[in-house]
Amino acid sequence: MGAPLEGIKVVELASYVAAPAAGALLADMGAEVVKVEVPQGEIYRYALPRLAGLDSEFSEAPHFQMDNRGKRSLAMDLLMPGALDALRQVIDQSDILLTNMLPHRLEKYQLDAATLRSRKPALIFASISGYGHKGPDATTPAFDYTAYWARSGFMDQMRDPNTAPTFQRPGIGDHAAALSMVSGILAALRMRDTSGEGQEVSVSLMHIGFYIQGNDAAIALAAGEAPPRHDRRAPRNPLWNHYRVKDERWIFLVMIESDRYWLRFCEAIDRMDLAKDERFDGAVARYHNTTTLVEVLEQTFASRTLEGWRSILDRHGVIWAPTNTLGEAIRDRQARAAGVFQTVEHPTAATYETISPPLSLSAFEMKGERPAPALGADGAEILREVGLSDEEVKSILG
How does residue 232 score in pLDDT terms, banded at 50, 70 and 90?
very high
Closest CA to 374 of 50, 12, 22, 75: 75
The pLDDT assigned to 297 comes to 98
* 316 neighbors 265 (Cβ within 8 angstroms): yes
Report how far residue 144's alpha carbon sits from residue 130's, in angstroms, rounded to the nearest whole number: 7
Residue 208 neighbours by CB distance under 10 Å: 26
Report how far residue 202's alpha carbon sits from residue 183's, in angstroms, rounded to the nearest whole number: 11
Nearest 10 degrees: CA dihedral of 304, 307, 311, 316?
50
Question: Considering the chain, what percentage of its residues have pLDDT values greater than 70?
Answer: 100
* 44 neighbors 82 (Cβ within 8 angstroms): no
pLDDT of 115 over the 90 cut: yes
Residue 121 neighbours by CB distance under 10 Å: 12
- Which amino acid, 128? I
Closest CA to 11 of 3, 20, 25: 20
Domains of the chain: 9-214+339-397 (3.40.50.10540), 240-329 (3.30.1540.10)
pLDDT of 33 over the 80 cut: yes
The pLDDT assigned to 199 comes to 98
* 314 neighbors 334 (Cβ within 8 angstroms): no
Report the DSSP beta bridge partners of residue 37.
75
Closest CA to 157 of 235, 254, 228: 228
How does residue 256 score in pLDDT terms, banded at 50, 70 and 90?
very high
Cα separations (Å) of 13 from 45, 81, 130, 222, 254?
15, 19, 16, 39, 43
Give residue-wise pLDDT tens across range 260-280.
999 999 999 999 999 999 999
The pLDDT assigned to 104 comes to 93
Q: What is the mean pLDDT of residues 241-258?
A: 98
Closest CA to 240 of 226, 227, 258, 228: 258
Higher pLDDT, 291 or 2: 291
Dihedral pair phi/psi, residue 381, rounded to 5° = -65, -45
What one-character-per-residue DSSP string does 199-262 give? Answer: -EEEEEHHHHHHHHTHHHHHHHHHHSSPPPPP-TTS-SSTTEEEEE-TTS-EEEEE-SSHHHHH
Report how far residue 71's alpha carbon sits from residue 31's, in angstroms, rounded to the nearest whole number: 9
Q: What is the mean pLDDT of residues 291-295?
A: 98
pLDDT of 1 over the 90 cut: no
Report the DSSP beta bridge partners of residue 202.
127
pLDDT of 350 over the 90 cut: no
Question: Cα–chain-centroid distance for residue 34?
Answer: 21
The pLDDT assigned to 325 comes to 97
The pLDDT assigned to 94 comes to 98
Question: 80: Cβ–Cβ under 8 A, 6 or more apart, which residues?
Answer: 395, 396
Helix then strand then coil, in percent of the chain rounded to 5, is 45, 15, 45
pLDDT of 398 over the 90 cut: no
Give residue-wise pLDDT tens across range 72-106.
999 999 999 999 999 999 999 999 999 999 999 99
